[in-house]
Structure 1
Amino acid sequence: MDRSGDMRVVRGFDDEPAHDILVPRESRAPFLFNSPHSGAVYPETFLAASRLDRRTIRRSEDSFVDALFAAALDHGATLMRANFPRAFLDVNREPYELDPKMFVGRLPPYANIRSLRVAGGLGTIARIVTDQDEIYRGPLAVEEALDRIERIYKPYHAALRKLLARIHVAHGYAVLIDCHSMPSVIRGLDARHRPDFVLGDRYGTSCHQGLVDAAANSLRALGYTVARNKPYAGGFITEHYGRPAKGLHALQIEINRGLYMNEETFERTAGFDHLAADIAVLIGDLIASLDARFGPDTLAAE
């Protein structure tokens, strides 16, 4: 049985890969599927520095999302996934979105200390999980934050850029699908307005609208409710890599965790296999839409 998503504790990432790149037998689709928040491999020193129990610290994970999108490989697309948890390091942020109040020592002058995400406690090195749970027992050394960025964040993005460049050269364009999950209870929305999926394209700026339409139509045909850009329009990855004028398209997909997992025990529910099968259909529909709906030339650089 695939145990992707089960929590593991390790000494660190010197001998443990911080991310995986899963390549199909035949790379034929101009898509890269990326799961930056599904990692569940926790360094011992990180857990020791945390004030949270092992269940609470996992609440910011996109548990099992990499497994939900595993069918990308069957469709000839590459899948990249983080092994480190989001609470340890968030690669869906700028490299230096850091809160100076969290650290002993001086941050570099180029650190972005005033972003809204830093103010909310969810910078590159997060201060909290969920809405209020403080992660750390006390302040961290600045060197610890910078080490995580140098050894894990920067190699992750270097690999992401390399994969997208390879796809772009082969096809004349590249499509990045950034794969995420969201709590079944979303702040500010009652149960009647809780979508199954949220598609984020930075309000029409990160991806060709034909692709977003194709994703929405596919999901609705499968019986799901779909929202666009609210409450999630896409994070740093979608914004940074989505350059439609250059033939680079980025779409964030958020999945309601209530469809497939128990959010208290971090276990898959009976809905997991059904959802994974539907996501396989979605992936196939997205790939088929390139020729059927608007043609690859539309996605190439202007």
Structure 2
Amino acid sequence: MMDPVEVVRGSGPIVLGMPHTGVDVPDDIRKALNATGRRLTDTDWNIHRLYDGLLDDATTVRATFHRYVIDANRDPSGESLYPGQNTTGLCPTTDFDGKPLYREGMEPDEAEVERRLDAFHRPYHAALKAELERVHTKHGVAILYDCHSIRSHIPFLFEGALPDFNIGTDRGTTCDPEIERIVAACCNSAYGYTSVVNGRFKGGWTTRHYGKPETGVHAIQMELAQRSHLKAEAAPFDLDERNANSLRHHLGEILHALDTWAREQTSGSK
């Protein structure tokens, strides 16, 4: 079993959170999963590759465990992010299509959920909190940019097709309005791409938990439709290098613009 979290420390004000790119599943949990669960379909496939090297001095905090083990972007209390809507929970028992993930009678009980919180969820967030505090101490400001992707069509979760860029700030509460404006402007100017702010995805627990702009810690979530960078939104979920390179150009613009804004706050020139 590898470490539950991987940290690449940078010197700049941007922290990239990656809670859903990991595919590590401990043997005891894998044995409890059924064939659907073992496919690990609901992974943020290749997101760590997509953002790699876009901003040299960014910090990256990445969960190595799969979201079917425990979802690092869910409230540890188990409270739903979207009350009244279909979603998946802290320790998911169904996939994004509503299909069971576990063999009959093998779903995690309360004790097992608590064990997974201690072994996976809490270490990830301890690392993320520590990096945000370090960055904030150094710069007087920190921006958590939470990196996600999802299939474009999932009727169980939402109607129709998602835009390419899905920006979430919990209705503008998790970051300075200028951060939301900068990201939205970059996405709107990306020719051939579609975007929305606070649509179906308004920011997960990570964004909502850490985004406290009054303290100088800002958070924004980017949910990318997987059609924008994968060859197909089905196994083996390979990266489409041409489309990925085009998308990386725009993602790089976003990160560099946020980095510039954050440094201007520190210098007092804004």
With normalisation by structure 1, the TM-score equals 0.79
Cα distance, 1:122–1:281 mapped onto 2, change above 3 Å: same
* Per-residue deviation, 1:96: 3.0
Whether contact under 8 Å (2:14, 2:145) holds in the other structure is yes
Please say if 1:23 is aligned against 2:16. no
Partner-residue secondary structure (3-state), 1:263: coil
1: CA distance between counterparts of 2:159 and 2:94?
A: 21
Q: Which of residues 232, 237, 241 is equivalent to 2:210?
A: 241
2: CA distance between counterparts of 1:289 and 1:121?
A: 34
Whether contact under 8 Å (1:72, 1:79) holds in the other structure is no
2: CA distance between counterparts of 1:62 and 1:197?
A: 14
Identity over aligned residues, as a percent? 29
Partner of 1:198: 166
Partner of 2:153: 185
Whether contact under 8 Å (2:151, 2:225) holds in the other structure is yes
* Per-residue deviation, 1:213: 0.9
**How do 1:133-152 and structure 2 match up within 5 A?**
133-137=99-103, 138=105, 139-152=107-120
Which protein has the larger Cα radius of gyration, Structure 1 or Structure 2?
Answer: 1
* Per-residue deviation, 1:118: 10
* Per-residue deviation, 1:246: 1.1
Whether contact under 8 Å (1:33, 1:72) holds in the other structure is no
1: CA distance between counterparts of 2:45 and 2:148?
A: 9
**How do 1:67-82 and structure 2 match up within 5 A?**
67-74=49-56, 76-82=57-63
Please say if 1:96 is aligned against 2:65. no
Partner of 1:52: 35
Cα distance, 1:154–1:117 mapped onto 2, change above 3 Å: farther
Q: Please identify, of 276-285 and 61-70, the stretch whose mean Cα deviation from structure 2 is larger.
A: 276-285
1: CA distance between counterparts of 2:112 and 2:77?
A: 13
Cα distance, 1:147–1:118 mapped onto 2, change above 3 Å: farther
- Listed one character per residue, the Cα deviations across residues 176-234 of structure 1 (whole Å, up to 9, x for unaligned) are 0111112111544434xx31101100001001110111111122223222100111001
1: CA distance between counterparts of 2:267 and 2:169?
A: 20
2: CA distance between counterparts of 1:92 and 1:230?
A: 18
Q: Which of residues 117, 126, 132 is equivalent to 1:158?
A: 126
Please say if 1:268 is aligned against 2:268. no
With normalisation by structure 2, the TM-score equals 0.88
Whether contact under 8 Å (1:72, 1:78) holds in the other structure is no
Q: Which of residues 51, 64, 84 is equivalent to 2:46?
A: 64
**How do 1:197-236 and structure 2 match up within 5 A?**
197-223=165-191, 224-236=193-205
* Per-residue deviation, 1:133: 1.1
Given residue 231 of structure 1, which amino acid in structure 2 is its aligned partner?
R
Partner of 2:260: 288
2: CA distance between counterparts of 1:230 and 1:119?
A: 13
Gaps of 5+ in 2: none
2: CA distance between counterparts of 1:166 and 1:115?
A: 28
CA root-mean-square deviation: 2.4
Q: Which has the higher strand share?
A: 1
Gaps of 5+ in 1: 1-12, 98-111
* Per-residue deviation, 1:141: 4.1
Equivalences, count: 261
2: CA distance between counterparts of 1:92 and 1:196?
A: 20
Whether contact under 8 Å (2:21, 2:46) holds in the other structure is yes
Cα distance, 1:216–1:145 mapped onto 2, change above 3 Å: same
Partner of 2:143: 175
* Per-residue deviation, 1:174: 1.0
2: CA distance between counterparts of 1:115 and 1:127?
A: 16
Whether contact under 8 Å (2:167, 2:223) holds in the other structure is yes
